[in-house]
Amino acid sequence: MKSNRLLYLLPLLTLAILAGFFGWSLLSGRDPASIGSPLVGRPAPRLEAPALFPGKPALTDALLRTGKPVLVNFFASWCTPCLAEHPLLERLASRDGVTIIGIAWKNKPEEARAWLERLGNPFAAVGYDLDGKMALDWGLSGVPETFLIDAKGIVRLHFRAPILEKDVNERLLPLLKAGS
């Protein structure tokens, strides 16, 4: 009879567990839309892309193993947030001397070239990934996305949105200073 009574408590217990999870979820302030950055802390994925500007060497993994931290930025000429982010990249490259590698993602090379020629080119090297195959390895969900790769070739930061002033000052530059 006793075990029978416990059986009738089962729905209540199930509810308590469910409610616990819901409360935890609400209080944790998690963003269900965020898909996370599983690459952080791991070696950078393969970098292999034809150069955007004719005559320049193709992009390879060697660019990520120069002993210096680098930023990898995926962009496209059709992407308005990329346009908003562009001045900040220019400043990072010229003022802070950060090496930035650009990848034009799902973007026709001539359009990406015209875009950079019009706005200025902050990238030490630019490649393109027309069909987005390479970006699959990087877990790209759209553009712009930016990765900070440290001197050992490990991914340190992953921005799934345009980088802002705040991100640069609070996250990017401190890590860069500590790394170099």
Burial-class residue 175 by CB neighbours within 10 Å (0-12, 13-18, 19+): middle
19: contact with another protein by CB under 8 A: yes
Q: Which stretch binds another protein (CB under 8 A): 1-9, 48-56, 70-78, 116-124?
A: 1-9
**Between the CA of residue 67 and those of 64, 90, 96, 102, 170, what are the distances in Å?**
8, 22, 17, 18, 23
Least distance (Å) between residue 33 CB and another protein: 5
# chain residues binding another protein, by CB under 8 A: 24
By beta-carbon proximity to another protein, the closer residue of 26 and 62 is 26
Mapping DSSP onto H, E and C, the string for 51-116 reads: ECCCCCCCECHHHHCCCCCEEEEEECCCCHHHHHHHHHHHHHHHCCCCEEEEEEECCCHHHHHHHH
> Which helix (H) or strand (E) segment is 125 a member of?
strand 125-129
Adjacent-strand bridge partners of 132: none
The residue from 3, 5, 80, 95 that contacts another protein (CB under 8 A) is 5
136: contact with another protein by CB under 8 A: no
80: contact with another protein by CB under 8 A: no
Residue 103's φ and ψ, nearest 5 degrees, are -125, 120
Touching another protein, residues 22-61 (CB under 8 A): 22-26, 28-30, 32-36
By beta-carbon proximity to another protein, the closer residue of 35 and 178 is 35
16: contact with another protein by CB under 8 A: yes
9: contact with another protein by CB under 8 A: yes
3: contact with another protein by CB under 8 A: no
- 3-class DSSP assignment, residue 177: helix
Q: Which stretch binds another protein (CB under 8 A): 7-15, 50-58, 92-100, 154-162?
A: 7-15
In contact, 35 and 160? CB cutoff 8 Å: yes
Interface residues with another protein (CB under 8 A) are 4-5, 8-9, 11-12, 15-16, 18-19, 21-26, 28-30, 32-36
